[in-house]
Amino acid sequence: MSDQQRVVYVVSDSVGETAELVVRAASSQFNGGDIEIRRIPYVTDTETIEEVVQAAKEENALIAFTLVVPELQQRLIDEATEKQVIYVDIMGPMIDGMASLYKHVPKHKPGLIHKLDEDYFRKVEAIEFAVKYDDGKDPRGLLNADVILIGVSRTSKTPLSMYLAHKRYKVANVPLVPEVEPPDELFQVPPYHIIGLTIDPKQLNSIRMERLKSLGLNSEANYASMERILEELDYAERVMRRLRCTMINVSKKAVEETANLILDILRKRGLIR
């Protein structure tokens, strides 16, 4: 089988993402990870297990599984042992270790890691919202956002949007550029929903120069010139004052720190809990 692509069956009583990630990480250590992964998700019966083991035997394949129901685990192990199929229990040893740590038995309930409850769906919806309305792509989204971030380029608008989206808040962001008039929708939104991001000119100059270098461009381009930066910041401040929105200086602040400031502001305004 030296010239044939290796096959791994990923068997799970949930989605099977965990097992597939582990298989791919391990296979990358062998000739660049040339492997075919066949995921068998939501396994709840022994018949499916028997079929997969038989298929793995015929193809000389390996089985990696994340079955948390003991009866299904044991059936796969018994079948694989009988048919001399190589298998790897990915979750079992970790669950056993956790059982010793917590001093009680696990729930043995499939899919808890991706429990599709209301909270999960809100997070997915918020992330999709942030992606759709990132960088002023569609100003119509501004009217439905929990919070709108505005500022010049490289003031962490997108990272902040994604961070807050993972906290289940719908965030849109709009870049402020002197040559482009802000969308009308921005002026239709109550100012307490808008956060203006400002930054020290010298820090922005440094950030933009590094950005240009990473793109292989000339660091002396107008994008990173101090004259251009001062013009943009002055314009952005005028827009923010027109909007009467709260302004946060993000200089020397990590994304998490700025995000927590924004969340505190929204809580005090009663916009979030």
The CATH number for 126's domain is 3.40.50
105 shares a domain with 124: no
pLDDT at 264 over 70: yes
More confident residue, 33 or 246: 246
222 shares a domain with 179: yes
Asked if 2 contacts 60 with a C-beta cutoff of 8 angstroms, the reply is no
Percent of the chain with pLDDT over 70: 92
Check the annotation: does 241 bind a ligand. no
Report if residue 34 sits inside a domain. Answer: yes
Calculate mean pLDDT across residues 118-141. Answer: 89
145 shares a domain with 88: no
Q: How large is the greatest C-alpha to C-alpha distance in the chain, in angstroms?
A: 75
Calculate mean pLDDT across residues 142-162. Answer: 96
140 shares a domain with 76: no
Tokens representing residue 240 in the block: 């923010």
97 shares a domain with 138: no
Distance CA 65, CA 198 (A): 50
49 shares a domain with 65: yes
Give the three-class secondary structure for 52.
helix
CB-based burial of residue 190 (10 Å sphere; 0-12 exposed, 13-18 middle, 19+ buried)?
exposed
Q: What is the pLDDT of residue 219?
A: 75
- CATH number assigned to the domain comprising residue 60: 3.40.50.20
Q: What is the pLDDT of residue 35?
A: 86
Q: What is the pLDDT of residue 227?
A: 96
Query: What is the domain count for the chain?
Result: 2
Report if residue 39 sits inside a domain. Answer: yes
Check the annotation: does 219 bind a ligand. no
Check the annotation: does 153 bind a ligand. yes
Question: Of 85, 114, 143, which residue sits at a domain end?
Answer: 114
Report if residue 222 sits inside a domain. Answer: yes
Q: Where are the alpha helices (DSSP H) in the chain?
A: 17-27, 46-58, 70-83, 92-102, 118-132, 157-165, 201-214, 226-243, 255-268
150 shares a domain with 21: no
pLDDT digits (tens, 9 = 90+) for 17-31: 888 888 988 888 886
pLDDT digits (tens, 9 = 90+) for 83-95: 999 999 988 787 7
pLDDT digits (tens, 9 = 90+) for 180-215: 999 999 999 999 999 999 999 999 999 999 989 888
Q: What is the pLDDT of residue 2?
A: 45
126 shares a domain with 11: no
Calculate mean pLDDT across residues 120-149. Answer: 93
Tokens representing residue 100 in the block: 């010793």
Report if residue 273 sits inside a domain. Answer: no
Question: Of 93, 114, 135, which residue sits at a domain end?
Answer: 114
Calculate mean pLDDT across residues 158-174. Answer: 95
Report if residue 1 sits inside a domain. Answer: no
Question: Of 114, 135, 161, which residue sits at a domain end?
Answer: 114
pLDDT digits (tens, 9 = 90+) for 97-118: 888 887 877 665 665 555 555 6
174 shares a domain with 50: no
Check the annotation: does 155 bind a ligand. yes
More confident residue, 121 or 198: 198
125 shares a domain with 110: no
Q: What is the pLDDT of residue 64?
A: 94
pLDDT at 229 over 80: yes
Check the annotation: does 14 bind a ligand. no
pLDDT at 38 over 70: yes
Report if residue 13 sits inside a domain. Answer: yes
Percent of the chain with pLDDT over 90: 67
Check the annotation: does 136 bind a ligand. no
Q: What is the pLDDT of residue 233?
A: 98
Report if residue 251 sits inside a domain. Answer: yes
Cα Rg, the chain, nearest whole Å: 26
Check the annotation: does 158 bind a ligand. yes
Q: Tell me which residue range forms the domain holding 50.
A: 6-114
Give me the amino acid identity at 129.
Answer: F
Report if residue 240 sits inside a domain. Answer: yes
Quote the mean pLDDT of the chain: 89
Calculate mean pLDDT across residues 257-261. Answer: 96
**pLDDT band, residue 272 (cuts 50/70/90):** confident
- Going by C-beta distance under 8 Å and a sequence separation of 6 or more, which residues neighbour residue 6? 27, 34, 35, 36, 61, 62
pLDDT at 63 over 70: yes
Beta strands at 62-66 and 35-40: parallel, antiparallel or unpaired: unpaired
186 shares a domain with 80: no
25 shares a domain with 82: yes
pLDDT at 263 over 70: yes
Check the annotation: does 100 bind a ligand. no
Distance CA 84, CA 62 (A): 10
**pLDDT band, residue 1 (cuts 50/70/90):** very low
